[in-house]
């Protein structure tokens, strides 16, 4: 789906991302973690076209998007959210979603089973369906500025879904949420991946929650990739434990037992 080849980003003499390579396959749910200053958001910006590369290549479904602007990434099915929700506060919640649909260049068709709409999931056909999918139907007529911060995060995800992505990049969508809201968000992310057949890449500081819900974890430290493995293996990786000083990593037994419970459910 997306392949980063030796992606490097420098700001003057600072190397924020240092020759990071990673491949993301269709349908994967992948987490990216790392201590503060590890280069996570810069890497995210690079693979979504927001931040130009200093070196390296970016391939999306066989297309070389290196140096392309964000709208070209969107045209190839890449959508993202930001650490701080970027919504239009004066517009209604419904109109925010409608903007996402227009940004993608989609227009309503008289015969929706024809043309480019035929491969679009029913849940993404219109703004109302997307609001129902993310649980914001009751807030449709409210100004975006009037809903809660956690609902604004959901709304930004809905705006990204309005572009009908195949790859969804989520940048710290759990920031500022309560523990219960974080779990709800994680379950929603998994459901979106499953129901919409998305590839999802998720950066998060809520490491323990992320490790319970993703299938693969990439760990960045000082701009370098130091691990790319299953959650159970990553929490046992000595270099990862050292990078985190052991403070933020879930116990291997916690991850393993959670996986076992989910598999049995």
Cβ proximity of 124 and 161 under 8 Å: yes
Looking at the fold, whether 233 and 199 belong to one and the same domain comes out as: yes
pLDDT by residue (tens digit) across 213-261?
999 999 999 999 999 999 999 999 999 988 875 555 555 444 544 454 4
Looking at the fold, whether 155 and 209 belong to one and the same domain comes out as: no
**Domain-terminating residue out of 117, 145, 164:** 164
What's the pLDDT score for residue 248?
55
What's the pLDDT score for residue 102?
80
What's the pLDDT score for residue 18?
96
Residue 151 lies in a domain: yes
Count of other CB atoms within 10 angstroms of residue 246: 9
Task: For 70-88, give the DSSP string.
Answer: HHHHHHTTEEE--SS----
What's the pLDDT score for residue 224?
96
- Alpha helices in the chain, H assignment, sequence order: 40-47, 70-75, 93-103, 127-134, 149-161, 179-196, 207-213, 231-234, 238-244, 252-264
pLDDT at 44 over 60: yes
Domain CATH number, residue 210? 3.40.50.300
Residue 84 lies in a domain: no
Q: Which of 104-108, 170-174, 227-231 is predicted most confidently?
A: 227-231
pTM of the model: 0.84
Q: By three-state DSSP, how is residue 232 classified?
A: helix
144 compared with 263, residue with greater pLDDT:
144
Count of domains forming the chain: 2
* Domain interval for residue 152: 89-164
């Amino acid at each position: 789906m997306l392949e980063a080849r030796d992606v490097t980003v420098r700001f003057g003499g600072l190397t924020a991302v240092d020759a990071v390579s990673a491949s993301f396959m269709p349908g994967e749910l992948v987490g990216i973690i790392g201590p503060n200053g590890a280069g996570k958001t810069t890497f995210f910006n690079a693979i979504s076209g927001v931040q130009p590369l200093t070196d390296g290549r970016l391939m999306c479904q066989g297309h070389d998007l290196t140096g392309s602007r964000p709208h070209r990434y969107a045209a190839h099915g890449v959508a993202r959210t930001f650490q701080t929700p970027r919504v239009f506060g004066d517009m209604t919640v419904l109109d925010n979603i409608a903007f996402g649909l227009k940004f993608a260049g989609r227009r309503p068709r008289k015969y929706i089973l024809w043309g480019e709409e035929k491969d679009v999931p029913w849940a993404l056909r219109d703004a109302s369906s997307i609001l129902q999918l993310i649980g914001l139907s009751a807030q449709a007529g409210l100004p975006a500025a009037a809903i809660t911060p956690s609902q604004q995060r959901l709304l930004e995800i809905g705006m990204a879904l309005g572009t009908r992505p195949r790859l969804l990049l989520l940048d710290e969508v759990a920031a500022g949420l309560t523990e219960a809201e974080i779990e709800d968000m994680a379950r929603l992310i998994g459901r979106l991946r499953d129901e919409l057949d998305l590839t999802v890449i998720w950066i998060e500081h809520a490491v323990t929650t992320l490790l319970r819900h993703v299938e693969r974890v990439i760990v960045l430290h000082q701009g370098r990739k130091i691990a790319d493995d299953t959650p159970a293996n990553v929490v046992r990786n000595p270099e990862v434990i050292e990078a985190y000083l052991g403070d933020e990593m879930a116990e291997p037994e916690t991850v393993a037992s959670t996986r076992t419970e989910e598999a049995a459910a």
